Structure 1
Amino acid sequence: MTRSLAILMFDDVEVLDACGPFEVFSVANRITTRDGGLRAFDVVLVGVDDGPVHARGGMRIAVDTTIDDTRRYDVVLVPGGVVDEVPAAAAAWIHTQFGTTEVTASVCTGAFLLADAGVLDARPVTTHWEDVDDLRRRWPSLDVREGVRYLDHGDIATSAGISAGLDLALHLVSRLVSPDVATSTARQMQYEWSDGQ
């Protein structure tokens, strides 16, 4: 089964938050198809508008479609970065997608966008260590955890900062495809990984 997977893109997105998981899902596809199998993921970069995203550090990234596209995705991944200027329409899109996704996930400060969208609840969440206090202050009802790479509650998953998105993405490959594919993906990427939070 090939799952549709959207990565939300916006100006000042953290490059590794978005591109790290993209690489994991891309390599997982190479692993699953090299022996004639199906691609594991159909990855789509979804922008808040149709122009190129200007990521942190100046990288320009083209998007495949926008949040105005009405299609639904099996998996939505929301990276972090400078999230204070992300239009409110993105939170509305996340909220709408959450109603039908198998899992909605965030990397780093992407957790702030999930909170804006109203999809977080009493279950623990995490974010970049530098932003933990701010997340707690802005949403005092959230149970924000430190010292974990990621947390997975089935329909919601959050990760700590930047490189932790690789761990979360590999975990999602393990969960949604197979542990063997996740292990092979990490090995292909020469990334030291074990599926533990």
Structure 2
Amino acid sequence: MKVGILVFNEVEVLDFAGPFEVFSLAEALDRTKIFDVKLVGQTMQTLKARNGLQVVPNCSFEDHPPFDIVIIPGGYGAEEIEINNPVVIEWISEQYRSVKILASVCTGAFLLAKAGLLKNRKATTHWMDLDRLENDFEDIEVIRDTKYVDQGKIITSGGISAGINMSFYLIKKLVGVEITKNTARRMEYDIVI
């Protein structure tokens, strides 16, 4: 399965790196990789994530493969910059039409909301931004005190490390408990199955 993770300037590092690590390490019982994970930028230009970490996308909006799963991370870049970028919002809308799962981490939910994809759905985001999501997008049922909310094709998760929990949840949903446990063990990450 192909996983695309959106990256942009001022993206929260663990929002994209956590899911990247989880999906990249997941292996079938015969040790073959299950997921092919790519970082996708609007262009191939080097980006500056939060606190100055430099990130180079693997592919751009113009040349990426078709994805089965797309993950939209958050951070200042999502909630204050990319939310005003019509190219990014349109790309997210296009991905929704073709992927099996579109997931957000943290304030990446604001980009899904801006694209109209959370209308009349339940969703969550970082605890510090729940009120803003509720106030700015009144047609969303905001869920508090949860790591992630599964609405079928769309899944939203809470802040930062919740994206790792959501990624394990997706692996369990897609390929089963045993592979999920093996991946968590390899990462030395405590999960509840």
Q: What range describes the TM-score normalised by the shorter chain of this pair?
A: over 0.9
Partner residue, 2:71: 77
One-letter amino acid of the structure 2 residue matched with residue 74 of structure 1: D
Q: Aligned ranges for residues 152-171 of structure 1 at < 5 Å?
A: 152-171=150-169
User: Shift of residue 121 of structure 1?
Assistant: 2.6
Give the Cα separation in 2 of the matches to 1:71 and 1:193. Answer: 31
| Residue range with higher mean Cα deviation, 171-180 or 6-15 | 171-180
- Relative to structure 1, is the Cα distance of residues 68 and 190 closer, same or farther in structure 2, using a 3 angstrom cutoff? same
One-letter amino acid of the structure 1 residue matched with residue 163 of structure 2: G
- Relative to structure 1, is the Cα distance of residues 120 and 24 closer, same or farther in structure 2, using a 3 angstrom cutoff? same
User: Shift of residue 176 of structure 1?
Assistant: 1.1
Does structure 1 conserve the Cα–Cα contact (< 8 Å) formed by 2:123 and 2:149? yes
Identity value in percent: 41
- Relative to structure 1, is the Cα distance of residues 142 and 180 closer, same or farther in structure 2, using a 3 angstrom cutoff? same
SS at match of 1:85: helix
Among 176, 185, 188, the alignment partner of 1:187 is 185
User: Shift of residue 70 of structure 1?
Assistant: 6.1
| Equivalenced residues, count | 189
Partner residue, 1:65: 59
1:51 aligned to 2:45? Answer: yes
User: Shift of residue 114 of structure 1?
Assistant: 0.5
Q: Which runs of 4+ in 1 moved over 6 A?
A: none
1:27 aligned to 2:1? Answer: no
Give the Cα separation in 1 of the matches to 2:136 and 2:62. Answer: 28
1:149 aligned to 2:147? Answer: yes
Does structure 1 conserve the Cα–Cα contact (< 8 Å) formed by 2:12 and 2:73? yes
TM-score, normalisation: structure 1: 0.92
One-letter amino acid of the structure 2 residue matched with residue 32 of structure 1: A
Give the Cα separation in 2 of the matches to 1:154 and 1:93. Answer: 20
Deviation by residue 1:72-125 (Cα, 9 ceiling, x = unmatched) = 211000000111211221110010010011000000000001111111132210
SS at match of 2:104: strand
| Residue range with higher mean Cα deviation, 136-145 or 67-76 | 67-76
Partner residue, 2:2: 4
Unaligned runs of 5+ in 1: none
One-letter amino acid of the structure 1 residue matched with residue 60 of structure 2: T
Give the Cα separation in 2 of the matches to 1:90 and 1:36. Answer: 35
- Relative to structure 1, is the Cα distance of residues 36 and 136 closer, same or farther in structure 2, using a 3 angstrom cutoff? closer
Give the Cα separation in 1 of the matches to 2:64 and 2:41. Answer: 13
Give the Cα separation in 2 of the matches to 1:25 and 1:58. Answer: 24
